[in-house]
Structure 1
Amino acid sequence: MSMAEGNWTKVNEFILMSFSSLPAKIQSLLFLTFLIIYLVTLMGNSLIILVTLADPVLHSPMYFFLRNLSFLEIGFNLVIVPKMLGTLLAWDTTISFLGCATQMYFFFFFGVAECFLLATMAYDRYVAICNPLHYPVIMNQRTRAKLAVASWFPGFPVATVQTTWLFSFPFCGTNKVNHFFCDSPPVLKLVCADTALFEIYAIVGTILVVMIPCLLILCSYTCIAAAILNIPSAKGKHRAFSTCSSHLLVVSLFYVSSSLTYFRPKSNNSPKSKKLLSLSYTVVTPMLNPIIYSLRNNEVKNALSRTFRKALGLRNCIP
């Protein structure tokens, strides 16, 4: 942390403004809504992890990556939502300097990891549909482990550089962060220094982190679409597409919401609209992912049914 000269003061904590401009009744309603969403998110993603581990039918690469995605969504939620719930009830709207940096670090880490993991899942679908006979050989345990590590790793350098650089700046004046978590743009507004170089790095870094996985996903699905069109039967086409539909929907939700948040013109990017858009990919999307994969995937639905029957059977056997 830096001590600035003159009238600059040492910042020990920040105040998260969250939704403080709304009436108390509305904040209480938001608290209840987000608490339910949070619990559903934790339960849904935990179920996906447990079922894909417990059921041998779901021990394929596709569900290995889905398990990684669910673990990532749980981490993403734990970093942001509990503190946001506290600010809505005005338990404690402050967050320490270190706490803010830690929250931002893991927000970047999980966000970058999700971008690359979604690209990895698209590649998995590409191999499954375009090279079905070689799929078990190509996507063996060693390969899927390497792909998972490659998906998680980029989050470390991106989060480390961006968070360390931003929090090395001096802060002065107000310590009020006009957001419900420590995101880079609202914290950057509190800096008392020239941040032009950092802003260039942040924009370029964000574009690369979003565009590289997005291009990989587009390439994968272009090949997948060509392969599906060459399938002679309508039933075969439907079956091939159904294995990708859940992933496509999850990708669309994540990329549309995050792109609208970070790539909108500044003139249209008011704090209120940014908060609402941020809610879509930090709170709503992590809840929808397990629901999408459960409702649109017969294997997952059957595995959930088998797991519950086994659990009930074990309970009945206990004297």
Structure 2
Amino acid sequence: MNNKSSPGGFILLGFSDHPKLEKTLFVVVLASYFVTLVGNTLIILLSILDSKLHTPMYFFICNLSFLDLCFTTSCVPQLLSNLWGPEKTISFNGCAIQLFVFLALGTTECILLAVMAFDRYVAICRPLHYAIIMHPRLSQRLATTAWIIGLLESVVQTPPTLHLPFCSHRRVHDFVCEVPALIRLSCEDTTHNEIQMAVASVFILVVPLTLILVSYGAIVQTVLKINSAVGRKKAFGTCSSHLLVVSFFYSSVITVYLQPKNPYAQDQGKFFGLFYAVGTPALNPLIYTLRNKEVKGAFERLLGKIKQPRES
């Protein structure tokens, strides 16, 4: 049945095949969403209010935090509603909006993480030229480019996906409207869409990840040449947070978009999808605050400013 003859939209099955797990997931997702909102908002405020954080690295981290806020908000409210009650439907327009936003923001994060790796490369491998290379104008252009690529990717891939002739049962074996799940819902040949998704995955996932690995390969070579153990530790410390974020995000996204076609892989993919949609946006602010003395210092200075008026 064509999607235009399906006014009821779609049924997001999500984790309905694990009914005993749904209430537990509801609590976990709600807690993670709260941490995402508080943690990322705090990082954005600190990056704006504290002049010591007005550097390219924190400009990109601020972009990442804002992106994560939007990314997780595009799917979590619907997911919480589906996990709590028996009603798991989403309108066709709601699904279209979710697909467009989710794909655009996910693509933007892939590119932004590569940009952040380039920033770390310049900071470690070209420290004397860092201020000249990573000037504010270039940082803004790189961040803007990441957002534009994300938007273009969604503009290109969303319409062909939504125009697929979907099966009449309209059951999406996922908790969110995203490309792989909707392609599997089609009752006709989807070879063209699958090729398009594969090509997009190469440009959006493989190429940025390759650039990240090349950047960190050069960084490791540079750090190993540092004679001081303290210097090596400090250099690795500036990169460890970003490496953790990259590891968590890319491992889960690649599992979802490059998974084989079988029921076990699809079921496993839902949990990996949940991790990159809900888990990584919650972990990112924790990684950058718990492992970063500059962010901790900015937070302490902010608390000091808040306490001063009260004491006076």
**TM-score interval (norm. to shorter):** over 0.9
Cα drift, residue 144 of structure 1: 0.5
Matching residue within 68, 76, 86 for 1:73: 68
Residue 97 of structure 2 aligns with which residue?
A: 102
1:190 is aligned with what amino acid?
A: L
Residue 17 of structure 2 aligns with which residue?
A: 21
Report the 3-state secondary structure (helix = DSSP H, G, I; strand = E; otherwise coil) of the residue aligned with 1:266. Answer: coil
TM-score, length of structure 2 as denominator length:
0.95
TM-score, length of structure 1 as denominator length:
0.93
Cα drift, residue 268 of structure 1: 6.9
Which string of whole-angstrom CA distances, capped at 9 and with x for unpartnered residues, describes residues 66-112 of structure 1?
00000010011100111000001127421111110110111111111
2:284 is aligned with what amino acid?
A: N
Residues 10, 172 of structure 1: 8 Å contact kept: no
Aligned equivalents of 1:84, 1:314: Cα separation in 2: 42
Comparing 271-280 with 10-19, greater Cα deviation is found at 10-19
Aligned equivalents of 1:28, 1:57: Cα separation in 2: 43
Residues 3, 163 of structure 2: 8 Å contact kept: no
- Change in Cα spacing, 1:17 to 1:215, as seen in structure 2 (3 Å) is same
Residues 11, 172 of structure 1: 8 Å contact kept: no
Aligned equivalents of 1:113, 1:269: Cα separation in 2: 29
Report the 3-state secondary structure (helix = DSSP H, G, I; strand = E; otherwise coil) of the residue aligned with 2:201. Answer: helix
Cα drift, residue 3 of structure 1: 7.0
**1:248-287 equivalent positions in 2, closer than 5 A:** 248-267=243-262, 269-287=264-282
Residue 30 of structure 2 aligns with which residue?
A: 35
- Does 2:168 match 1:163? no
Which string of whole-angstrom CA distances, capped at 9 and with x for unpartnered residues, describes residues 147-182 of structure 1?
111111111121111110111122232011111111
Report the 3-state secondary structure (helix = DSSP H, G, I; strand = E; otherwise coil) of the residue aligned with 2:90. Answer: strand
Cα drift, residue 277 of structure 1: 1.1
Which string of whole-angstrom CA distances, capped at 9 and with x for unpartnered residues, describes residues 17-69 of structure 1?
1222333x642222122111101111000000001111111111100000000
- Change in Cα spacing, 1:177 to 1:2, as seen in structure 2 (3 Å) is closer
Residue 52 of structure 1 aligns with which residue?
A: 47
Report the 3-state secondary structure (helix = DSSP H, G, I; strand = E; otherwise coil) of the residue aligned with 1:270. Answer: helix
Residue 200 of structure 2 aligns with which residue?
A: 205
- Does 2:184 match 1:189? yes
Residue 137 of structure 1 aligns with which residue?
A: 132
2:218 is aligned with what amino acid?
A: C
- Change in Cα spacing, 1:171 to 1:309, as seen in structure 2 (3 Å) is same
Residue 64 of structure 1 aligns with which residue?
A: 59
How many residues of Structure 1 are paired with residues of Structure 2 in the alignment? 312
Residue 297 of structure 1 aligns with which residue?
A: 292
1:282 is aligned with what amino acid?
A: A
Aligned equivalents of 2:3, 2:90: Cα separation in 1: 19
2:183 is aligned with what amino acid?
A: L
Aligned equivalents of 1:266, 1:119: Cα separation in 2: 29
Aligned equivalents of 2:61, 2:18: Cα separation in 1: 37
Aligned equivalents of 1:194, 1:207: Cα separation in 2: 22
Matching residue within 143, 166, 172 for 1:177: 172
> Unaligned stretches of 5+ in structure 1?
none
Report the 3-state secondary structure (helix = DSSP H, G, I; strand = E; otherwise coil) of the residue aligned with 2:75. Answer: helix
Comparing 180-189 with 121-130, greater Cα deviation is found at 180-189
1:239 is aligned with what amino acid?
A: K
- Please provide the CA RMSD for this pair: 1.8
Aligned equivalents of 1:184, 1:158: Cα separation in 2: 12
Aligned equivalents of 2:265, 2:251: Cα separation in 1: 18
Residues 11, 175 of structure 1: 8 Å contact kept: no
Residues 171, 190 of structure 1: 8 Å contact kept: yes
> Unaligned stretches of 5+ in structure 2?
none
- Does 2:243 match 1:228? no
1:216 is aligned with what amino acid?
A: L
Aligned equivalents of 1:193, 1:311: Cα separation in 2: 61
Matching residue within 300, 309, 312 for 1:314: 309
